[in-house]
Amino acid sequence: MHTNKSKKGFTLVEIMIVVVIIGLLAAMAIPAFDKVRENSRHSAMDNDARQLASAAQQYMLENGVDSATITYSDSDGAITGDLSAYVRQIGTGYTGLTGDTITTTTGFTFGHALAAGDRDYTAEGQKD
């Protein structure tokens, strides 16, 4: 009687080729993913800047003043002081925001600990 041995399965070379292909795909995808995260952080900063500027303008209009000071806690995103009645919280991790003053003519600058560089905003909250 003659028995046939089955040769099913993958060879070492085939498995190595698959591993190399997956590595190449990951090497291309990771930088693109980081860029998407960076863009997301910048979009969140832009939105929070518009909220702060809008709150500052409302504060200045209602109180007849030409400036508002930002008091911000980077650990929980809480806004206190002048603008607390108009915006209570924004994103966390922003740098350079506490103690900044928004006037009717000058903007403000802040950044994020995980985003590259600070951004300048006009008094209306637009990117400068």
Q: What is the pLDDT of residue 4?
A: 64
Nearest-10 Cα torsion for 116, 120, 121, 123: 150
In a domain, 1, yes or no: no
In a domain, 97, yes or no: yes
In a domain, 6, yes or no: no
Residue 22: band (very low, low, confident or very high) from pLDDT cuts 50, 70, 90 = very high
In a domain, 30, yes or no: yes
In a domain, 128, yes or no: no
Residue 122: pLDDT above 70?
A: yes
pLDDT in tens, 51-81: 999 999 999 999 999 999 888 988 899 998 8
Q: Which residues of 72-108 are buried (b: 16+ CB within 10 A; e: fewer)?
A: bebeeeebeebbeebbeebeeebeebbebebeeeebb
45's CB contacts (< 8 A; 6+ apart) are: 91, 94, 110, 111, 112, 115, 119
Average pLDDT, integer, range 26-44:
89
In a domain, 5, yes or no: no
In a domain, 4, yes or no: no
For residue 40, the enclosing domain spans: 12-121
Number of domains comprising the chain: 1
In a domain, 39, yes or no: yes
Q: What is the pLDDT of residue 100?
A: 82
